Structures are given as structure tokens and as C-alpha cells.
Amino acid sequence: MFSECVKKAGSIEVICGSMFSGKTEELIRRLKRAQFANQKVEIYKPAIDVRYADDQVVSHDFHSIPSTPIDTPASMLLLSSDVDVVGIDEAQFFDGTIVEVAQTLANRGIRVIIAGLDTDFSGKPFGPMPALMAVAEDVQKVHAICVKCGSPANNSHRLSTDPSLVVLGEKDVYEPLCRHCYNAAVSQDSRTVPAAHTAQP
């Protein structure tokens, strides 16, 4: 009876942090371990993320795993039949319905592993990430290294002056900074953050 309950138990895991902190790399590592164990794995990412490849989740150091690009979280419910593990990358770009979708998948007995930015370039909680962290059984916050001082970094400082919330980019657009260096950089930028950047409930 106990083993049957364990086998059917689903869960939600969240891997969060700044740009260049290794979120996607850790997601890929967990998913490949599941594949090595002969578990059926499905991986999804937002269709807008085309930085590396349309049908691959790719880390900054170019580790990759095949994935399915989707426009809405609800698509995962239709595409995730008879699977053991679901991986979701760049979850911050989805709308709030991803929280209910993740809960539904976990309640079906599926292990759901989610990676995403916990804060946006202005330092505010990013999209559905706070809610996903709240309902998760396990949350791991990973850190980059501050490019200014070498301390652990948990902020993604945007190098451009584009005020849009979503701006896809790599090292040419963002740099990881610690709290002190981030505050100094923002002060130097003298940037006004639009009210629209407040976190979604």
C-alpha cells in the first residue's frame, strides 16, 4: 500500500535564480537523469523563446534537450498523457494559468520540474514564479557570480535602456550582479521603472 502511494505521488519542483545562474542547466540535468531511469519525459518552453533553437531547451553553456514550444500552459494538459516527468523552462514568460496546470499535472502523479527567473530586470517578482514557488514541494534558488565583484549574484541587470518587461537576450543584454552592485548600477542608470512592471498576482 505504501509503495503504491509513493509511486502515484506527483510533485512540483522549482529551480529559480537570475540570468546565468545555471537554472536551465540544472533542469536539463534532472530531466536527463529521469530519462536514464527509463522514465517518460516531456519538456516544454514558451514559444517566444527562440534564442537558440525552436525545439530545444538550451542552457547558456549549450547543453540541450529536445522540447516542445507552446503558447499557453493549457497545451501541456493535452500533450502530457502517460508521462512520468514534465519539465518546463522559462516559466516566468507564461501567464498565471501555469500554476493551475502544474498543480493538475502533479495531482495526476506527475513529477513537474520548473525553471525560471524569480525576479525581472527591475528586481520585482517575475510573473507566475512566486505562486509556483508557493505551491512547490521543493524550491532551489541558484546563483550566478557577480561580474563586478565576484560575490553570489541574484539580480539580472539589463544593459540596454529598453523599458519593456520581456526583452530576450544574453550577455549582450544582461549581466548578473549581487545586491550591492545591482543597486549601484540601477542608481547610475537613473532609470524609472514603469508601474506595469509590478508582479502579477
Q: Which residues contact 36 (CB under 8 A, 6 or more apart)?
A: none
Q: Confirm whether residue 149 is marked as ligand binding.
A: yes
Q: Confirm whether residue 92 is marked as ligand binding.
A: yes
Query: What are the backbone angles phi and psi of residue 181, rounded to the nearest 5°?
Result: -70, -35
CB 133 within 8 A of CB 9: no
Q: Between vectors from CA 23 to CA 25 and to CA 166, what angle results, nearest 5°?
A: 120
Q: Confirm whether residue 169 is marked as ligand binding.
A: yes
DSSP codes joined into one string, 24-73: HHHHHHHHHHHHHTT--EEEEEETT--SS-TTEEE-TT--EEE-EEESST
Q: Confirm whether residue 19 is marked as ligand binding.
A: yes
Q: Confirm whether residue 168 is marked as ligand binding.
A: yes
CB 89 within 8 A of CB 100: no
Q: Confirm whether residue 90 is marked as ligand binding.
A: yes
- Is residue 90 among the annotated active site residues? yes
Q: Which residues contact 164 (CB under 8 A, 6 or more apart)?
A: none
Q: Confirm whether residue 52 is marked as ligand binding.
A: no
Q: Confirm whether residue 21 is marked as ligand binding.
A: yes
Closest CA to 44 of 6, 22, 77, 1: 77
Q: Which of 13, 26, 42, 90 is catalytic?
A: 90
The distance of Cα 175 from the centroid of its chain, to the nearest Å, equals: 17
Q: Confirm whether residue 91 is marked as ligand binding.
A: yes
Q: Confirm whether residue 109 is marked as ligand binding.
A: no
Binding site feature residues for Zn(2+):
146, 149, 178, 181
Binding site feature residues:
17-24, 89-92, 146, 149, 166-169, 174, 178, 181
Binding site feature residues for substrate:
166-169, 174
Catalytic residues: 90
Binding site feature residues for ATP:
17-24, 89-92
